[in-house]
Amino acid sequence: MNRIKGNQYINLKGVPCPLNFVKTKLKLETMGTGEVLEVELDDGEPITNVTASVKEEGHQILKVEKADEYWKLLIKKQ
């Protein structure tokens, strides 16, 4: 399987909505266009809400992957 590596990583497991999205957004703001952020999120609302919100902000989502009890999101900053 082709493994896309993130330039940056944040662990947001246990961080509730909408704080998880805010932290993702702030992290993306420190990054350059085209760079990839890897985010780890809880199952349930966190993964669905953060995915929808990141997309609405105009970033590209490269990968959404379930790993055990949490999710990995790869976001390309636009």
Partner 1 sequence: MTKKIYKDNELAGLRTGGIIKQKQKDYFILRTRIPGGHLKADLLKKYSTIAKKYGRDYVHVSTRQGIEIPWIHIKNIPKLLKDLKKLNILKGACGPRSRNLIACPGMSVCRFGFVDTEQLAGKLDSVAFGKEVPKKFKVAITGCLNSCAKPQENDLGFQAQGEPEVDLSKCIGCTLCAKVCEKVCLRGKRKPAIIMDENKRPIYRKKNCFFEGDCIRVCPVNAWKTKMVGFAVYIGGKVGRFPKFGVKIADFVKESQIPKIIRNTIRCYNRIAKKGERFGEALERQDLEKIKEEIL
Closest approach, Cβ 15 to partner 1, in A, equals 19
Closest approach, Cβ 58 to partner 1, in A, equals 12
What is the β-pairing status of strands 36-42 and 8-11?
parallel
Q: Which of 13, 17, 61, 70 binds partner 1 (CB under 8 A)?
A: 61
Closest approach, Cβ 42 to partner 1, in A, equals 13
Which sequence positions are flagged as catalytic? 17
| C-alpha–C-alpha distance, residues 23 and 3, integer Å | 24
Residue 77 tokens read as: 């900053």
Inter-CA distances, 29 with 1, 12, 19, 43, 50, Å: 30, 17, 15, 25, 15
Q: Is 13 in the site for partner 1 (CB under 8 A)?
A: no
Residues near partner 1 (CB under 8 A) are: 47-48, 51-52, 55-56, 61, 63-66
